Amino acid sequence: MAVRMALVVLVPQQRRLQLAILWVLLVFCSVLAIARPLESDIVHSGSGLQPASEPLQKLASISSQGGTLSTQLDFVQGTFQAPCHNITTRMYRHNNVASVPGPTLRLKRGDLLDLTLFNTLPKGAEGQLNHFRLPNTTNFHTHGLHVSSRAPADDVLSIQIKEGEQFHYQTRLPGYHAPGIFWYHPHQHGSTALQVGGGAAGAIVVEEDASDQIPADIAALEKELVMFNEWNLEKMKAISTASNDQIWKVESNGTCLPQEEAWFASNSFITANGQYQPYLAMEKGQWKRLQLINAAFMQWLSIPAPQNCEFQLLAKDGIFLKELPRQVDRLILPGGGRVDLAVRCSRAGERALISKSEANDDTTFMGTGTLMYLDVKDSEKPPQPELKSFKYAMPCYLPDLTQVEASRLTKAEFRLQDNEDTKWFAINDTTFNPEQPVYKSDMETVQEWTLVNADYHSFHLHVSPFQLPETVSTTGNYFQIGDWHDTLFIPYLPEEAENSIKVRFQPERYTGNYVMHCHILPHEDQGMMAYAQFAGEEGKSSLCPDAASDWPVWKIAAVAAGAVVGTILVVSVTGGVIYCTPLGAWLLLKAKSLLPKKLPETRPLLPKASDK
């Protein structure tokens, strides 16, 4: 008590207030530290999942503000509740909530993704290059975004976030970036399959705006974002064992019959937004816009339109078709692929979205079974009309390369090769070498690459999407000349194609390493990965010469409009002060007194008649 009274007497009242505020802040920070879960705690994601028992849940999202999306994600150990098992795995956590999938990152053109990724995992094993290894080391790949591959952006070759460490990513989208659906996931070579196959993934949405000029009937459609995750418990156990991993674990949750539990333990299955076979409510005759992401670590999906329903394709891999919509009979989604489509059903009832094969498909890495349901209800609304067709104005970095003369093409061939028996996986006879590019070329060149074995392996290219310059399949019209992709798998190629397909792109703005690999992720981890190296002037673009600023057109226009309005206001207010106040009158008289008595004559712009 004596000490307390002495403090009261000796410390001035203002200083006592400052100390009290400091004490409150310290207590508040201490409470936060106690409330934050320990990194070894197990966090739970999802709920008891039963087929078609619950509606499709919306994914949590984080949106940019004022041109920046600034946030932190933690890479943590957590438990995912599958239909019959509790799976201890790796996942993303945001604001103390861990989930599969992770939160959706919503950006606009020109935005900065300012993201800190904190790896909370314990020390893990090491291992050899081109083997399963480094189970607890991670990094962050923005799959499909047209951004730099240099640190601190989408650099998957040199950025390694070891256990207990963090990295501050700063990834700037160009102001001319295409709107669409993309995604993020770990990309540490050697542990990509283990981490993505365990549910570590999340969506990225680059929002549309008025400059896209999307027709009103399509722009008004309600959007449903769905991420599919593949669960293959036997394969994941084998990868975990080969990695000397201590985290992956599968335990019965006691909710299933023995035969059900055995089936889920020995067969792969798919979840949608972390749920097993959820349903999406729809109305008969009304359009719904589905934005689907296949975040599978191995499997491709073939999804036919359900009976009495139609698919109208809008975009693939985050890029609108040049002419849309396009009616298709089925969707073909490799691991990493995305599709944006409008769906309408003409009859009420439960319709299943099923992945199943067609004649001639290579089904080695195909996922089969029911993914989710469309619960179509009767509606008193009249059926909505057909969607209006229109031609989309492609962003400047996506020119039409289908008619480029052969003399302008820079050609290369990439063979995706494997021997499962000897565990040899390669591109052009070479397993992944982080010190040696497999190909070198110059910026601004029109690249034509021939991809060999693209009907067995799926091919993904970082930094730039690529265009299809030729007919690629005899199965339906899902693939057409001029379409853009960043991840490509063709279920069937005609015999004359010799298992190969050509693609074209023109590297612009971003020099450096363009990583390529098979998106069957165990193949990538074991060596089917390489990178091309493009030399030139960083930031230069002949395709987008007017895009010196990263600001999108709408933002530049808004700033210009604001400047005009501001000028008008300033002039108006200044004029009011000058003409409506005694001070203004005095200023006018003062200015007049400073003027010369007689202004000098000026030569007329045109001669007078008398001057002729």
Check residue 522 and give its pLDDT: 98
Cβ count within 10 A of residue 451 = 23
In the prediction, which pLDDT does 366 show?
96
Return the pLDDT at 610.
34
Band (474; pLDDT cuts 50, 70, 90) = low
| Neighbour-count burial of 246, counting CB atoms closer than 10 A to its CB (0-12 exposed, 13-18 middle, 19+ buried) | middle
pLDDT of residue 494: 79
Cβ within 8 Å of residue 211, ≥6 positions away: 552, 553, 554
Question: What does the pLDDT read at residue 603?
Answer: 32
List, in sequence order, the alpha helices (H) in 201-325: 216-219, 233-242, 258-266
- Mean pLDDT for all residues in the chain: 86
* 388, burial (CB in 10 Å: exposed 0-12, middle 13-18, buried 19+): exposed
Q: What is the 3-state secondary structure (H, E, C) of 219-247?
A: HCCCEEEEEEEEECHHHHHHHHHHCCCCC
Domains and CATH numbers, the chain: 406-535 (2.60.40.420)
Q: 564 or 314, which is more confident?
A: 314
Q: How confident is the model at residue 439 (pLDDT cuts 50, 70, 90)?
A: very high
How big is the chain, counted in residues?
A: 612
pLDDT in tens, 21-64: 555 554 444 434 333 444 333 433 333 344 446 999 999 999 99
Task: Give the pLDDT confidence of 247-276 residue by residue, as tens digits.
Answer: 999 999 999 999 999 999 999 999 999 999
The pLDDT assigned to 239 comes to 98
Read off the pLDDT band of 16 (50, 70, 90): low
Residue 410 CB neighbour total at 10 angstroms: 13
pLDDT at 582: 46
Q: Which residues contact residue 596 at a Cβ distance below 8 angstroms, ignoring those fewer than 6 apart?
A: none
Between 582-594 and 553-580, two packed helices, what is the crossing angle to 10 degrees? 90
Q: At 492, is the pLDDT very low, low, confident or very high (cuts 50, 70, 90)? A: confident
Tokens of 271: 């979840």
pLDDT band at 392 (very low <50, low <70, confident <90, very high): very high
Which of 423, 415, 479 is CA-nearest to residue 453? Answer: 415
Which phi and psi (to 5°) does residue 408 adopt?
A: -90, -5
